[in-house]
Structure 1
Amino acid sequence: MTRVLIVSNGVPGRPAVLADTLRRLRASGALITLAAGAPAERIALPGGGATVHAIRTARQLPRPDKRAYPDAGKGRKLWLRARHDRRLRSLARAADVLVALDPHAVHTVWQLARRHRAADAVNGLTPALRAVAARAGAPGRYRLRRLLRPGPSPAVAAEALGERADRLVERVARKGSGRRVLRDPHGRRAWRLLLGAPLLGDARRLRWTERVAGRLVELGLPDEAGLVRAAAARRARPTVAVADSLETAAQAEFAAGRIPVFLRAAAAAQLRLADLALARDDLTEATRRFAKVIPLLFHRAVHFDSLESPSARDPYRNLGDLHASATGRALAAPRGRRVPAAPPPDGRPHRLLFVTHTNVYFLTEIIERYRAHPDVEVRHLELTADPAATLLSKRTGRLIRHQLGGASDYGDALREVFAPDLAWADTVFVDWCLGHAAMLATLDPGPARVIVRLHSYEAFTVFPHLLDLSRVDDLVFVSEPLREFATAAIPRLRQPGAPRTPVLTNAARLDRYRLPKPDTARFTLGLVGVGAIAKDPRWALRVLRELRRHDERYRLMLIGKELDEGPNAVSAAYFAGYAAELAELDGRGALVRAGQTDDVPGALTEVGVVLSTSVRESFHLGLIEGAASGAVPVVRDWPFFAGQRAGARSIFPAGWVVRDPAEAVRRILAETATAAIWRAAGAAAAEHALATWDWSVTAGGYDELILGTRLTRAAASGAAGRPPAAR
């Protein structure tokens, strides 16, 4: 008697064909069992003659297979169920012929045949009939085969041994990721070494990383969890699973109010996928992956809503993966221009185009100067005035895709926005090196000179890295510390062919701040602009509390829009502490809130000491205005730039700059010791500010930059406006 096991993924189709085949098999003396991945009651076999066995359901699977089941294909799912079905395994051991009734049963029949080699394995009913007939024609041959081929194949035995070893390893790993081990620094270090080991498979590496990192977060060790992820990411292959796992974990950290320590690793994983997509000319995927890099390397919680920044600590290293990636190099590749910038022709005014996007605060005096100039004709292209241009400026992904591809509908739309004004202009001045600057640089400017001014904010965004510098003649900075930082963060600025990098301070009419101060102003500290965490107003509160231990007449005036919770948990955490401190000091009468005002000179008449408490500044106009008013300046040595050659001390007199709140307190107490000392110190500060930064002094630098005065001599020198590293 020949035993036939037919395997079906579900309820068998084509019942008439199946009934005829079963009849013929029975006529040849076969004993038939149908094993189906559907409930037995749903299967009706015409004419009977076959036993029905329902393969066990997924609910009965052990944990490892239950985890794998949802993502498996239909054929793999059936096998995961079948391999743990004891009755099915018994039927397969006894069978002479194994039959796959449908395509999804083929994998299961193949696996059963590897374990029971005496049986014939076929796909379909007609081959099953032939196999049964062949056995009936030579029964002795098949009896000998059953004797010579007992048990599974060696490959199956090896797989089984490997699975048992895997289960043992997984049990050990689960015990090793317990709280007792992970609380021990040696245990955490061992996990970092293991997860960074070269022979650990990526699937297991990723699974163990998630388990260990999750436990560490539960234990209140998020930074240790980040180190574990970074160690695993450095060794893992650039797979979608690894990259997306790191991205998801990073977003979870941000949502919890923490800065992930593995941001570079997460960004590097996305960059590797972008490079792979670029290599196969899949620009859509390359764009999508690079777009995921931006909220990792340039997240505002990292650089704007916290008091530290990895870019400030080491800008070149933090952005090294971006600079080294093929996608980053493609986005920064110089596209050049057909003709070099040329001076305007004689016989007509110099045509000057200003390009802005919303923020014109630092440009007002400059625009007014050249509108009043008899030899200059001015246009102002404010992109938010055009709804189409505003929409284009919000499409950073399309900008990236255009720069990778070189031609697109997006590029055509940019040409419609900029080309008419570019064709008209002799000189283009773009304020703020943000998206609109990169958008304009997608066009060849022809003979027009292009000037872009970069303030400190943009240096911590992606946009300078999307700017085609070959189409920029001058990248202007408002201070030397900012230029030094930017040339470290953007290495292209140090390469041959880079634009000039002059330093020109912000335009400010400081003479209007020279107003009389009452004697009571001597004990009032002023902070102009407190609406950003980068201003670090809590530093000022520390100074105020210490001063009031010496003399309770000291108070703090806050001028400008006040700080709020911000858009994320990191900023909200800072605000919560700030608000609590503010409430406590406010209750003691130690605060004055001037709020937003159009009369800053008037507000500053009540200020005797003006503070710069920021972690970073480009120039800090508010401090300069306070100094011009006769307030004693106290400048924190801005931490973001303190480790550079050029810091706050390269802008201000050394006596103005302090290292910490204690030194600030000593300076304030000394300079406000008496009314005479205070007024003399304030007068000296005002004299220095007016002689150094007033618009009447600095306007000539803008004339040279914009109108080209002495431009020929500067170009001939080969070094005009360049920092030493660029010469």
Structure 2
Amino acid sequence: MTRVLIVSNGVPGRPGVLTDALHRMRESGALVTLVSGAPAEKVALPGGGAAVHALRPAKQLPRPDKRAYPAAGKGRKLWLRARHDHRLRGLVRAADVLVALDQHAVHTVWQFARRNRAADAVFGLAPALRAVATRATEPGRYRLRRVLRAGPSPAVAAEALGERVDRLVERVARKGAGRRVLRDPRGRRAWRLLLGAPLLGDERRLRWTERVAGRLGELGLPGEAGLVRAAAARRARPSVATADSLEAAAQAEFAAGRIPVFLREAAAAQLHLADRALARDDLAEATRRFAKVIPLLFNRAVHFDSLTSPSARDPYRYLGDLHASATGQALAAPRGRRVPAAAPPAGRPHRLLFVTHTNVYFLTEIIERYRNRPDVEVRHLELTADPEVTLLGKQTGRLIRHQLSGASDYGDALRQVFAPDLAWADTVFVDWCLGHAAMLATLDPGTARVIVRLHSYEAFTVFPHLLDLSRVDDLVFVSEPLREFATAAVPRLRGPGAPRTPVVTNAARLDRYRRPKPDAARFTLGLVGVGAIAKDPRWAFQVLRELRRHDERYRLVLIGKDLDEGPNPTSAAYFADYAADLADLEGRGLLRRTGQTDDVPGALTEVGVVLSSSVRESFHLGLIEGAASGAVPVVRDWPFFAGQRAGARSIFPAGWVVRDPAEAVRRILAGTATADVWRAAGAAAAEHALATWDWSVTAGQYDELILGERLSPGPGSGAAGPPSAAR
């Protein structure tokens, strides 16, 4: 008797043909079993021509196969359902002819043939009928074949052994990821070593990483979970699965109010995929992957809602993967200009274009100065005045795609926005190095000279890395520490063809802050501006508490918009501590808030000591205003820049700068020891501020920067000096 095993992925098609074939097989003495991926009740075989064996449903598969099932193709899915069916194994071993009824059954029949080498394996009913007929005419030949080819192929035996080993390893790994092991530092260290081992397959590495990291999270050890992910990411080959897993884990960390320790690895994985897409000219995918890098490397929780920043510690290393990536280099590639910037023709006013995007606070005095000059004609392009242009400014993905392609509808839209004013202008002054600066630099500016001013905020965003520096003549900084940091974060600024990088301080009319102070102001500390976590008002609270241990007359006033809770758990955590401090200090009458005010000079008349408690600043105009008012300045050595060659001490006199709250207390006590000492110290600070930073002194620097007018010798020019420039 010939045993025939027919395999179908679902309900067999063409039932009449199948019925006829089964009838002919029975006439040849064959015993037929139909194996179907469909439920048995849906398979109707008239006349009982064959037994029907329905495969188990996918939900009953063992864990490894159930995990692989969703991503498998139809042929592979059928085999996953068949391979662990014990009754079917017996049918396969006894079969003489194995038949794939449809193309999705071919893989399963091939696997059966590897386990029963004595059987004939065919595709389709006609070959099956021939195989049955041949066996009926030569039965002895096939009896010998069954003896000689008994059992599975050696490859199947090796695979079975490998699967047993894998199951054993998985059981050991599951036990090793138990709470008892992971609570022990030695167990966690062992897992980091294992997940970083070179011979561990990436599929298993990723699976085990998620298992261990998830368990560590349950144990309240999120930092250890991050270290595990970082160890695995450094060894894993870049892949979509690895990149997406790291990105999802990073976003989960941010959502929980933590900064991922594997942040750079997550960004590097996305950059690798962007580079691969760029190499095959898939600009849409390259753009999508690079867009995922931005909320990782430049996440506001990392740089703006925390008191530290990995970029501040070593900006070049932190952004090293971005600078090394092909996509990053393509975005930063210089496109140049057809002609260099040229001086305006004689006989007409100098045409000066200011380009802004909402924030014009630091431009007020500058715009007013040039509007009042008869030899200058001023235009002001405020991009948020047009809703359509505002929308373009929010489409960073389209900007990236345009930068990669060099031509796009987006670029055409930007040309309509900027081209008329660029053609008109002799000099363009763009305040804030954000998206609007990169948008403008997509156009060749012709003969117009382009100046972009970078404040502290932008140095921690992606936009300086999207700015075509070959179309910028001067990238202006308001302080030396900021320039040093930015040139480390954007190394193109130190390369050939880079724009000039002058330092010109903010424009400020400081003479209006010189007003009499009452004697009671001597014991009032002031903080101007607390609306950002970078201002770190809690450092000022600590100074106040330590100061009052020496003298309980000291109080603190906060001037300006108050800090809010912020958009993420990181900022919310700082705000919660800040609010608790406020409640304590206000409740005891030690702190007062003025709120937003248009009369900062009036508010400063009550301040005897002005603080800069910030972790980072570009210039800290509020501190300068306080010093100009005659308050004794006390400047924290801004931690973001403290490790640089140029820090707060490169802006202010060394005596103003302190390392910690204890040194701040000593300076305050010394500077307010008596009324005469306090007034003398305040007068010296005011004199220095007015001689160094007042608009009457710095205006000439802007004339040189914007109009190319050289400073004429005279009173005050030595104190200010020309703009500090570097290449």
Normalising to structure 2: TM-score of the pair? 0.97
- TM-aligned CA deviation for residue 309 of structure 1: 0.4
Q: Secondary structure at the match of 1:71?
A: coil
What is aligned with 2:171? 171
- Comparing 276-285 with 553-562, which one deviates more in the overlay? 553-562
* Stretch deviating more after TM superposition (425-434 or 559-568): 559-568
Mapping of residues 194-593 of structure 1, within 5 Å: 194-593=194-593
Measure the CA separation in 2 of the matches of 1:140 and 1:241.
54
Once the two structures are TM-superposed, the CA of residue 589 in structure 1 deviates from its matched residue by 0.6
Q: Structure 1 residue 721: deviation in Å?
A: 4.0
Asked whether the 8 Å contact 2:355–2:382 carries over to 1, the reply is yes
Amino acid at match of 1:168: L
- Equivalent pair of 1:22/1:50 in contact (CA under 8 Å): yes
Secondary structure at 1:362 match in 2 = helix
- Identify unmatched segments of 5+ residues in structure 1: 712-718
Task: Report the alpha carbon displacement of residue 69 of structure 1 after superposing the two structures with TM.
Answer: 2.0
CA-CA distance at 1:402 after TM superposition: 0.3
Q: Measure how far apart 1:554 and its partner are.
A: 1.4
* Alpha-carbon distance in structure 2 between the residues aligned to 1:176 and 1:414: 57
2:155 is matched with which residue? 155
Q: Cα deviation per residue 1:550-571 (whole Å; 9 max; x = unaligned)?
A: 2222111111111111010110
* Residue 688 (structure 1) shift: 0.7
Match for 1:525: what amino acid?
A: L
Could you tell me whether the CA contact under 8 Å between 1:19 and 1:46 is conserved in 2?
Answer: yes
Match of 1:96 in 2: 96
SS at match of 2:379: strand
Instruction: Tell me how many residue pairs correspond in the alignment.
Output: 717
**What is the alpha-carbon distance in structure 2 between the residues aligned to residue 10 and residue 226 of structure 1?**
46
Determine the C-alpha separation between the residues in 1 that align with 2:383 and 2:58. 59
2:121 is equivalent to residue 121 of structure 1: yes
Superposed displacement of residue 392, structure 1: 0.6
Distance 2:451 2:335 in 1: 17
CA separation in 1, counterparts of 2:21 and 2:418? 76
Give the superposition deviation at 1:26: 1.1
Q: Is the 8 A contact 1:449 1:473 kept in 2?
A: yes
Tell me the amino acid that sits aligned with residue 219 of structure 1.
L
Give the C-alpha shift of residue 179 in structure 1.
2.1
CA distance in 1, matches of 2:463, 2:72: 42
2:642 corresponds to 1:613: no
SS in 1 for 2:566: coil
Q: Which residue of 1 aligns with 2:57?
A: 57
Distance 2:663 2:615 in 1: 16
Equivalent residue of 1:550, what SS? Answer: coil
- Cα distance, 1:720 vs structure 2: 8.0
What are the residue-to-residue correspondences of 1:105-144 with 2, within 5 Å?
105-144=105-144
- CA distance in structure 2 between the aligned counterparts of 1:137 and 1:466, rounded to whole angstroms: 78
Matched AA of 2:377? E
Supply the distance in 2 between the matched residues of 1:721 and 1:698 (Cα, whole angstroms). Answer: 12
Q: CA deviation at 1:620?
A: 0.2
Distance in 2, Cα, partners of 1:220 & 1:649: 42
Q: Is the 8 A contact 1:638 1:648 kept in 2?
A: yes
Q: Which residue of 2 aligns with 1:663?
A: 663
Does the CA contact (< 8 Å) of 2:250 and 2:260 recur in 1? yes
CA–CA distance in structure 1, aligned partners of residues 474 and 372 of structure 2? 24
In the superposition, the TM-score normalised over structure 1's length comes to 0.97
SS of structure 2 residue aligned to 1:70: coil
Deviation at 1:14, TM superposition (A): 1.6
Q: Is the 8 A contact 1:500 1:720 kept in 2?
A: no
**Equivalent position amino acid for 2:60 in 1:** Q
Cα distance in 1 for residues equivalent to 2:674 and 2:454: 41
* Contact in 2 for aligned 1:509/1:694 (Cα 8 Å): yes
CA-based RMSD of the aligned residues comes to 1.2
Which whole-Å CA distance do the structure 1 matches of 2:705 and 2:578 have between them?
42
Q: Contact 1:500–1:721 (CA<8 Å) still a contact in 2?
A: no
State the Cα deviation string for residues 382-403 of structure 1 (Å, max 9, x = none): 0001112111100100000000
Tell me whether 216-225 or 650-659 shows the greater mean CA deviation.
216-225
Are 1:9 and 1:102, in contact at CA under 8 Å, matched by a contact in 2?
yes
The amino acid that maps onto 2:113 is A
Check the 8 A contact 1:363/1:507 in 2, yes or no.
yes
Q: Is the 8 A contact 2:609 2:631 kept in 1?
A: yes
SS for the counterpart of 2:260 is coil
Asked if 1 retains the 8 angstrom alpha-carbon contact of 2:701 and 2:723, the reply is no
The answer to whether the aligner puts 1:18 opposite 2:15 as a matched pair is no
Opposite residue 2 of structure 2, the aligned amino acid is T
For the 8 Å contact 2:509–2:695, the answer to whether it is kept is yes
Q: Where does 1:62-101 land on structure 2 (aligned, <5 Å)? A: 62-101=62-101
Q: Which residue of 2 aligns with 1:714?
A: none
Q: Distance in 1 between matches of 2:140 and 2:582?
A: 97
Q: Distance in 2 between matches of 1:337 and 1:205?
A: 49
Pairwise CA distance, 1:58: 2.2
Counterpart CA distance in 2 for 1:660 and 1:126 is: 90
Deviations 1:241-265 (A, max 9, x none): 0000000000000000000010000
Counterpart secondary structure, 2:70: helix
Tell me, what secondary structure is at the counterpart of 2:155?
helix
- For residues 148 and 230 of structure 1, the distance between their equivalents in structure 2, rounded to whole angstroms, comes to 54
Structure 2, unmatched stretches of 5+, are: 712-721
How much does 1:588 deviate?
A: 0.3
Q: Is the 8 A contact 1:12 1:43 kept in 2?
A: yes
Using the alignment, how far apart are the partners of 2:173 and 2:87 within structure 1? 33
Secondary structure, aligned partner of 2:46:
coil
Distance 1:26 1:721 in 2: 99
- 1:704 has 2:715 as partner: no
Aligned counterparts of 1:720 and 1:542: Cα–Cα separation in 2:
37
Report the Cα offset of residue 19 of structure 1.
1.1
Counterpart contact for 2:503–2:723, Cα < 8 Å: no
Q: Report the Cα distance in structure 1 between the residues aligned to 2:419 and 2:161, rounded to whole angstroms.
A: 70
- Counterpart amino acid of 1:610? V
Q: What's the counterpart of residue 716 of structure 2? A: none
Q: Deviations over 1:144-180 (max 9, x none)?
A: 1101111111111111111111111111211222222
Q: Deviations over 1:96-121 (max 9, x none)?
A: 01111222222111111111111111
CA contact (8 A) 1:271 1:322 kept: yes
Secondary structure of 2:646's partner?
coil
Q: Give the distance between the partners of 2:540 and 2:4, measured in 1 at CA.
A: 86
What letter matches 2:167 in structure 1? Answer: R
Structure 1 residues 303-312 or 123-132, which shifts more? 123-132
Distance in 2 of aligned mates of 1:281 and 1:48: 58
Q: CA deviation at 1:38?
A: 2.1
Shift of residue 664, structure 1, vs aligned partner: 0.8
> In 2, distance between residues paired with 1:541 and 1:657?
18
CA distance in 2, matches of 1:227, 1:274: 25
In the TM superposition, residue 232 of structure 1 has moved relative to its aligned partner by 1.2
Partner of 2:639: 639
Contact 2:3 2:30 (8 Å CA) reproduced: yes
SS in structure 2 at match of 1:539: helix
Runs of 4+ in 1 over 3 A off after TM superposition: 719-723
Q: Which secondary structure state, in structure 1, belongs to the residue aligned with residue 258 of structure 2?
A: coil
More moved, 33-42 vs 157-166: 33-42
- Checking the alignment, whether the CA contact within 8 Å between 2:504 and 2:724 is kept in structure 1 is no
Give the drift of 1:347.
0.4
